[in-house]
Chains A and B, each alone.
Chain A
Amino acid sequence: MEQEQSGLDKILSLRREASAEIVNVDEPTLKLVIFELGGEWFAFPGEAIREILPQVDIFFVPGCPASLEGVINVRGDIESVIGLAELLGKPAAHTAQPSSILRGHGGGMHSGIRVERVVDVLDVVQSAIQPPPSTLPEHMRHIVSGLMRHQEVPVVILDLNRIFEDYHRGLG
């Protein structure tokens, strides 16, 4: 005759199942920094982002394209700041609006990237990331590395190496 499970047995059994589930999803993950621009969500791989800075003063440098907003002073060093909205074909957020600056590196360069708001920083299992759809606009195809959903919102994952390299070559 099968013995009825005690309360402790049930708890231990549930805990074992929970552990088993954790093992099941123990697959490669990717850290992402998710941010908002023009009402849409985008992300950079966490390895490309050194730091997230709150609103800091941006010093204008004449002679640059409008998307190159100036320089910031980061603990005694300076970095350029690009406005990502314009590169992605979104309306440029005014520099006076609250925003965050991501200190990114890619393509052998580093620069600040101004975004409207950082939504989240999280680890995502790689199977949750879909390849870029063929319906992407032409100007996005080269710089999008994947697509996922977070909190039911689509998130476009961007390749910072390509963004910086293209920008350095005069594109964007």
Chain B
Amino acid sequence: MPLPEALEVVSFMAGGYRCAVEAEQVRTQLPAQDSASVPTAEQLLGLPCDETQNARRTLLLKHPAGDYAVTVSDPVELRGLQIDTIYPLPPLIAARNRLVGLRGLALDAEGVTLLVDFLEARAGAR
């Protein structure tokens, strides 16, 4: 089966960095829930706390055991990442990077986007 030209992702900010998760992992987007029980993307991925004043939102993510919520920073957008801008992690970065759930990188005119997998991050955070 030929690859699609673009990968649908939900992009967001976390720790001051642009991140994206596959759109098929996201059930919906909710207003930020002011609850300490909702983990932040920074906590799950191992990024520094977000010091920007960007608004926070909650992503509801699909999971076989039940949907779960993660808070992220604006701007949160549904977008298509061109396949030719998506790269696996170079071997030294794959070996030495400490972020949890980092699967790959997208590099385009806007710079680097961290392609993350919250399922993996959540499993790693346990």
Contact = CB atoms under 8 A, between A and B. Distances in A.
Interface of A: 59-65, 68, 70-71, 73, 76-80, 82, 109-111, 164, 167-170
Interface string B92-126: 11011111001001010001101000000000000
User: Which 10 residue pairs are nearest across A and B when measured between Cβ atoms?
Assistant: A63-B99, A80-B90, A59-B112, A109-B91, A80-B92, A63-B97, A63-B98, A78-B87, A168-B95, A80-B93
A63 B17 CA distance: 11
B15 A62 contact: yes
B10 to A, nearest CB: 19
Given A59-B111, A63-B97, 11 more contacts: A59-B112, A61-B105, A63-B46, A70-B112, A71-B90, A78-B87, A78-B90, A80-B92, A164-B92, A168-B96, A169-B95
Contacts of B112: 59-61, 70-71
Given A76-B84, A80-B90, A64 B15 contact: no
A167 B96 contact: yes
B47 interface: yes
Contact of A109 (B92, B99, B114): B92
A78 B96 contact: no
9 contacts: A61-B114, A62-B15, A62-B17, A62-B114, A68-B92, A71-B93, A71-B107, A80-B91, A168-B92
A60 B84 CA distance: 20
Interface residues of B, number: 22
Contacts of B102: 63
Contact of B47 (A63, A73, A168): A63
A77 B111 CA distance: 14
Contacts of A82: 92
Given A59-B107, A59-B112, A80-B92, A64 B87 contact: no
B97 A64 contact: yes
Interface in B38-76: 46-48
B17 A170 contact: no
A82 B99 CA distance: 18
Nearest to B14: A62
